[in-house]
A and B are shown apart, each in its own frame.
Chain A
Amino acid sequence: MATWDSQPFSTQPLRAGYRRADVELQGVDQAVPSYEGRLFLNRAEADRETALAAEEGYLGSFHVFGKVFCWGEDERHCEQPDEREFDRRRYPNRYAKARVRTIDGLLRELVSKSGDQATLHIVAVLPEREDYAQYKAEDVLRFERLSIVTYA
């Protein structure tokens, strides 16, 4: 099972007033097997059997439609080249943005039950296929940045 755990982060900014809160992932690598990413707050032991319910710390899911892996053997085969002046070619994007908008009040409710710090956990649920069993967390949950963005 592929999981990702955050380091503890301050819940103080999440207690302030806001009208909307998003869990935002930037630079999500699509050269991975497709999966559903389930987000849990303060639930390090969550797994694919954990109920998708607020009382379990479930915040929502995002889905990555991946291309499994990059087949090219040469270095940077599937990487987008750096932009150059006069280069009009357009390269498909390997890295995507995913956003999980939390349900109104859910984050607030969960944070109110947290201490000064909280942790975020992702459970990557892959199709139950034999050739997918080999993938570990580092093969699947690949992204540059994860944050919780609030809008006043």
Chain B
Amino acid sequence: MPEQQLLDAEKGQAPVIGPGHTFATVTDKISSVVLTQRQPLMWFATLSTAFLLTMLLLLAVTVLFAKGTGIWGINMPVAWGFAITNFVWWIGIGHAGTLISAILLLLNQPWRNSINRFAEAMTIFAVACAGLFPILHLGRPWLFYWLIPYPNTMGVQPQFRSPLVWDVFAVTTYATVSVLFWFVGLLPDLATLRDRSQTRLGQMFYGMLAMGWRGSARHWRQHEVASLLLAGLATPLVLSVHTVVSFDFTIAILPGWHSTIFPPYFVAGAIYSGFAMVLVLAIPLRAAYGLGDLITMRHLDNSAKVMLGTGLIVAYSYLMEAFMAWYSGVGVEKFLMLNRMTGPYAEQFWMLVSCNIVIIQLLWFRKVRQNTLALFGISIVVLIGMWLERYVIIVTSLHRDFLPSSWGMFHPTRWDWATYTGTIGLFLLLFFLFVRLLPMISIFEVRTLLPEARVKEETRA
């Protein structure tokens, strides 16, 4: 859409794709990262660090399986420590990928075309990390399949009124749809790589994955229909998954958990942290691989705006919670809020407030949104803040509930930290293997952003 681009220039916005690109240059540039280019130093550095952290995860999980959850800091009353915090954090991060790939597709937002592929990959790997935690948190993790309703000789069925069972359905659906959507979107690009690969191994690898894609008009037609249908299926998942996660808390009647604003507040928080992760990944990638003309300042600016918007919703939710805790007039509600703000976890609470509310106000300024280093820093801060948010919600509500005689404290052990940082390693390992092996930007969708694509459509019509 040439007019669109002219208008954008008038408004002083960066274009969604750098000038001078043609179909051929886009294909060359993206496929060369996988096929011909030498990987930058950053790739080796990140991958080896990630590999070491993944080994740490393996160690931590092995010890956990050998000795049991006692190696973690959890105990009564705080039985949900790091594991559930990490679960909610990771699954929230995945949401930005689905929002970008599904909702922005349905809303005709073409700027998404150059960030959807790696954002979807991010979703899948984040969900993979998230999915580990509830299983690791089980005392007998080998019996995790008891959560799935199946006819069995014990006559045991899961408790369908429990949101923990809803979680199983929500997360498995989410993982399935995300993988399908991602893979269907990859097909045309896999065929491109198959055709351009110079090695026999590459041709076979991409050839098998491309599932016989020949790029005929019929293929494209069916591909488009399938993509739109999958986008339609994925759209409710952006809301439903974190809504169900929020039910894990709200269905309990604990002060600080049982609050009607949780579903929309959790969804906003998920998208908030997800876009932070998108920026954390996109900013170094575009620098290391010279992709600044495909992932432009426009993408960073838009992502920053989404972060600001969702961050403000999160801030609004904190305010409503704090106000209602007082307004309710109920002693335990007031005590919980006061304990959060001034109790033993006050430090974490005020840190999360500064990370999630105070610092992101910088994003109101265009100058900050245009500064990649500042954006990167703020995104890291948001990720820390959102982790702290879940930590504070979980720990402060549990550690001092209705009965003072059963109060206690939660102290994470080194195994808690090892498991958590281990999944960060796993996530980065998977992600950088993806960058190495698959096109991290959708070639065929970026091509539709070019003036060439538009001209053809217009002459035909």
Q: Do A and B bind each other?
A: no
